[in-house]
Amino acid sequence: MMWPQIDPVALQLGPLAIHWYGLMYIAGFSATWYLVRLQLQQAGLWQTAVSSEAYEGLFTALILGVVLGGRIGYVLFYNFGYYVHHPLEILYVWQGGMSFHGGLVGPVIAGWWYCRRHGLPFFQLADRFFTVAPLGLMFGRIGNFINGELWGRVTDVPWGMIFPGAGPEPRHPSQLYEMTLEGVLLFVLLWSVRKRDWPAGARVGLFLVGYAAARIFCEQFRQPDAQLGFLFGPVTMGMLLSSVMLAAGLVWLFVLFRSREKVI
């Protein structure tokens, strides 16, 4: 199969080019904003524990956390050797280069800081944001596929695709695997358990475990980053970071459900 020749520019308005990848970010943020607010309303927390003004401020802090964390994570984990000699290019975010794991830590830190400063229930909010976070991942992987980037390893499966810039051999469309597992299926799982009487923070742990397991599986089909390759044996950087994430999620869930204490 040939990769569909999708123009990465969705709309050209004179010198202004609107890219599909940017629209995927907007779609992810918009879906998150609406569905988190819906959950807060259903739980009776809207305008009681969380005002609309506080919510808008928190959301802005989280967006900044995603962008800054994703960029810093990419610099540190995936291309430090290059950026240490070209520090100004760290600011060139339009050239690409974002790390999911950095984009996870960034908003967690920003959200914790904002909630503490404004007296908001951090873990109750975190549960609801993490419940819909897979939708943002889904849109992001669609953007990767449209851009023809982050392709998979060479394969002979019937649905293998030939990506421009990846050579003449068909490869796994690993972006679509990640979209399905890390995005659609993980969202369905978290959304289906959102009303369970679990300790606050449990859905955070479930997200960590679910995403890490899906990512480690999908890394079996994804081509390692060219500047890193395999770290050792079959292990990639994505696997290593996700393994830490998996361990953290399992420990967090064990502590929560063993104590059954409500963390506020």
pLDDT for 263 = 47
Residue 263 resides in a domain: yes
Residue 45 resides in a domain: no
Residue 201 resides in a domain: yes
| Nearest-5° Cα angle at 107, 128 to 257 | 45
Those residues with Cβ within 8 angstroms of residue 106's Cβ, 6 or more apart along the chain or in another chain: 64, 65, 66, 67, 68, 69, 70, 72, 73
| Nearest-5° Cα angle at 137, 173 to 230 | 55
Residue 92 resides in a domain: no
Q: What is the domain range of residue 225?
A: 122-264
Tokens encoding 162: 């030939």
Is 171 annotated to bind a ligand? Reply is no
pLDDT for 261 = 55
Tokens encoding 142: 């669609």
pLDDT for 47 = 94
The model's pTM is 0.92
For the chain, what is the domain count?
A: 1
* CA–CA gap between residue 132 and residue 62 (Å, rounded): 14
Radius of gyration of the chain (CA): 19
pLDDT for 8 = 85
Residue 58 resides in a domain: no
Taking the CA atoms of 190, 19, 178 and 236 in sequence, report the sign of the dihedral they define.
negative
* CA–CA gap between residue 242 and residue 6 (Å, rounded): 30
Residue 113 resides in a domain: no
Residue 222 resides in a domain: yes
Residue 262 resides in a domain: yes
Strand-pair partners of 50:
46
Block means of pLDDT (10 residues each) for the chain, length 264 residues?
85 86 92 97 94 96 94 91 89 79 95 96 97 96 92 95 92 97 98 94 97 97 91 94 97 89 49
Strand-pair partners of 222:
152
